[in-house]
Amino acid sequence: MIDAYRQGYQEFNAELMRESYLYNSGQKMELEIAPIYERYAHLFDSEAVSRLKGILEKTPEHFAGQRASIKHFLVFAVNQLLDSSVKSLTEEISRDEAAAATGWRGRKMTFQDSAVAISTEAVRASRDQIYNWRLSIIAASNDLRVERIEKLHQAASLIGGPLPEGSPDSPRTGRTGQSPELDRDISDSRPDRGRGQGSSSSYSALYKNLYQLDLDSIASQCESLLARTESVYVARLDEALRSDLGISVDEATRPDGMYLMHLPRYDGRFPPDRIMTAYHGTMEGLGIRTEYQSNILIDDEPRPHKSPRAFCAPIRVPEEVRLVIRPFGGHADYISFLHEAGHAQHYGWTAAGLPSEFKYTGDSALTETYAFLFNHLPSDPVWLETFLGFAGAGDFIKSSILTRLFTVRRYAGKFIFELGLHSGTAHGDAGRAYSEVLSEATGFKTGEAEYLFDMDDAFYSAGYLRAWAFEVVLRDYLITRFGKLWWTNTRAGTFLKELWETGDRYTADEIASQIGIGPINFDLLTDDFLKALA
Ligand SMILES: [Zn+2]
């Protein structure tokens, strides 16, 4: 069964990724994924999940590789099964968003455009106006989102714990065609914190089991990061708000945050025509000649319907990886392109001979770590001077690290909220819980309306958080071994390629342990922020 399953799995992922690439790069006007899902539905129906479960139970512990394969398939099948249980609601919600448009300064502004418009709008009253329109669109679909979450919780309770208790080796999350942009034991027999919310608590129980992650411990690490960085964060944020926006932290709201964190003041330092040179040069320093990488195809053609955000589409790993950009310039554009370039190199260097379940399904924290490693280079003074001629960038670097702390604190808040929502502890008044946690974590007053919009399924937020924590340690390791300018050292490149070769076979914690720097915790990440922003 496994060989046939693998074949179908490989084809499904490649087809889904190709369709997503064509649509998001503006070469296809309609995203036609429903027929792909229908054709491969047998890979992720409840029968497939129970068959995989049965095979895993019969596979002896010493067949570690085979058990890892089946677990990766299980993660894939469970995630897809949950996705497809709410497919029509997901489609309905995104149709509503895609259709929404309003007039703004004599032009049509779509729902997608509105986020960029807020983050680049210097006039506060205008930001508020766009933001309120955006919230009205989100609020109009919130009943559907409530229904969708309830359905997901019901579907999760039907699946139950897919992995047998106490198994040591573990896979993680499944990649889907969407570009976005998750430690341990299920034998953790703590009583559930839910108050009789049977099905929502089983959603978090399902993921604790499936990812073999101690989500409660991640939540307490988030609490500690928030507490330890609170005073320095609020102090630096207040200074930035007073100098850039002329307001204090007590007055600041979410749209102010979206604008401030875009760092518009530095846009001129990051011209669109230098982005490719910076990418090629950075990789060349590591001994990677991007011009000879025929498997990583860069798509930088301008097309009217191309996604404004850079993305990476690993269609056939490692033979056909697409790195897509529509360069606008600006700090945010550089960061998002270098982030996606990190994903592209990871999948482009993955060993061709690996079984395909280790190419498309894994611990999201691992690939996100490689992506963060590159998207953090524009806060390195030497990198800025080398590729952008930006000398004396001290103030910019502090601002850029403040935006990173903002994002990490925001995700810590999001994760704490999501765990509550999916464990039944936040039920009933989830909107208020969201507003309180996010306002507190970010320092920007955040309303209730976005509480279900501002959320990815399957605890993806935990993957980002673990990746931020792992990236700091991995970067520190690279500096210790290869020098402060590790990104100019071909030996560092050789080391990274060896990690990338293993694709998604291991979890971020396993890779961290293999190089002797694990397990991942949030202490060094916290210290790093405290040091940089003191
Ligand atoms: Zn990413």
C-alpha 181 to ligand 1 mean position (Å): 5
C-alpha 348 to ligand 1 mean position (Å): 15
C-alpha 62 to ligand 1 mean position (Å): 34
C-alpha 340 to ligand 1 mean position (Å): 6
C-alpha 333 to ligand 1 mean position (Å): 14
Rounded CA-CA distance 107/384 in Å is: 36
Side-chain-side CA neighbours of 312 within 13 Å: the count stands at 28
Residue of 501, 495, 444, 449 whose CA lies nearest to 474: 495
C-alpha 506 to ligand 1 mean position (Å): 17
C-alpha 339 to ligand 1 mean position (Å): 6
Mean pLDDT, residues 304-319? 92
C-alpha 227 to ligand 1 mean position (Å): 26
C-alpha 241 to ligand 1 mean position (Å): 28
Residue of 440, 402, 419 whose CA lies nearest to 533: 402
C-alpha 507 to ligand 1 mean position (Å): 16
Please tell me the predicted confidence (pLDDT) of residue 1. Answer: 82
Please tell me the predicted confidence (pLDDT) of residue 226. Answer: 98
C-alpha 1 to ligand 1 mean position (Å): 33
C-alpha 368 to ligand 1 mean position (Å): 5
C-alpha 55 to ligand 1 mean position (Å): 32
Rounded CA-CA distance 259/253 in Å is: 10
Rounded CA-CA distance 335/340 in Å is: 9
Rounded CA-CA distance 335/371 in Å is: 10
Please tell me the predicted confidence (pLDDT) of residue 428. Answer: 66
Please tell me the predicted confidence (pLDDT) of residue 198. Answer: 52
Rounded CA-CA distance 177/225 in Å is: 32
C-alpha 305 to ligand 1 mean position (Å): 22
- Assess whether pLDDT exceeds 50 at residue 206: yes
Q: List CB contacts of 310: < 8 A, sequence separation 6 or more.
A: 323, 324, 325, 326, 333, 336, 337, 339, 340
Rounded CA-CA distance 313/3 in Å is: 25
Contact 474/373 with Cβ under 8 angstroms? yes
Q: How confident is the model at residue 169 (pLDDT cuts 50, 70, 90)?
A: very low
Q: Count CB neighbours of 129 within 10 A.
A: 16
C-alpha 371 to ligand 1 mean position (Å): 6
C-alpha 242 to ligand 1 mean position (Å): 32
Global pTM reads 0.92
C-alpha 408 to ligand 1 mean position (Å): 14
Rounded CA-CA distance 390/289 in Å is: 24
C-alpha 367 to ligand 1 mean position (Å): 7
pLDDT top residue among 169 and 363: 363
Phi, psi dihedrals of residue 405, rounded to the nearest 5°: -65, -40
pLDDT digits (tens, 9 = 90+) for 186-196: 222 323 333 33
C-alpha 508 to ligand 1 mean position (Å): 14
**What pairs with residue 410 in β-bridges?**
none
Q: Comparing 5-9, 117-121, 260-264, 303-307, which segment has the lowest mean pLDDT? A: 303-307
C-alpha 302 to ligand 1 mean position (Å): 22
Q: Residue by residue, what is the 3-state secondary structure of 169-204?
A: CCCCCECCCCCCCCCCCCCCCCCCCCCCCHHHHHHH
C-alpha 102 to ligand 1 mean position (Å): 30
Q: How far is CA 133 from CA 110, 198, 357, in A?
A: 11, 36, 43
Contact 269/388 with Cβ under 8 angstroms? yes
C-alpha 290 to ligand 1 mean position (Å): 20
C-alpha 343 to ligand 1 mean position (Å): 7
C-alpha 493 to ligand 1 mean position (Å): 20
C-alpha 257 to ligand 1 mean position (Å): 22
C-alpha 125 to ligand 1 mean position (Å): 33
314: which DSSP letter?
E
The token pair at 412 is 């810590």
C-alpha 192 to ligand 1 mean position (Å): 31
Please tell me the predicted confidence (pLDDT) of residue 197. Answer: 44
pLDDT digits (tens, 9 = 90+) for 55-87: 999 999 999 999 999 999 999 999 999 998 998
The token pair at 303 is 């097309």
C-alpha 2 to ligand 1 mean position (Å): 29
C-alpha 83 to ligand 1 mean position (Å): 20
pLDDT digits (tens, 9 = 90+) for 233-289: 999 999 999 999 999 999 999 999 999 999 989 999 999 999 999 999 999 999 999
Mean pLDDT, residues 159-187? 47
C-alpha 54 to ligand 1 mean position (Å): 33
Contact 367/309 with Cβ under 8 angstroms? no
C-alpha 179 to ligand 1 mean position (Å): 8
C-alpha 421 to ligand 1 mean position (Å): 24
C-alpha 344 to ligand 1 mean position (Å): 10
Q: Comparing 26-30, 69-73, 220-224, which segment has the lowest mean pLDDT? A: 26-30
Mean pLDDT, residues 170-183? 39
316: which DSSP letter?
E
Report the residue count for the chain: 534
The token pair at 404 is 């990173």
C-alpha 366 to ligand 1 mean position (Å): 10
C-alpha 411 to ligand 1 mean position (Å): 14
Side-chain-side CA neighbours of 147 within 13 Å: the count stands at 12
Q: Which residues surround ligand 1, an ion (CB under 5 A)?
A: 368, 371
Residue of 159, 219, 217, 158 whose CA lies nearest to 185: 217
Query: Nearest 5°: CA angle at 314, between 310 and 316?
Result: 150
Residue 322 three-state SS: strand
C-alpha 323 to ligand 1 mean position (Å): 12
Rounded CA-CA distance 410/404 in Å is: 10
C-alpha 182 to ligand 1 mean position (Å): 13
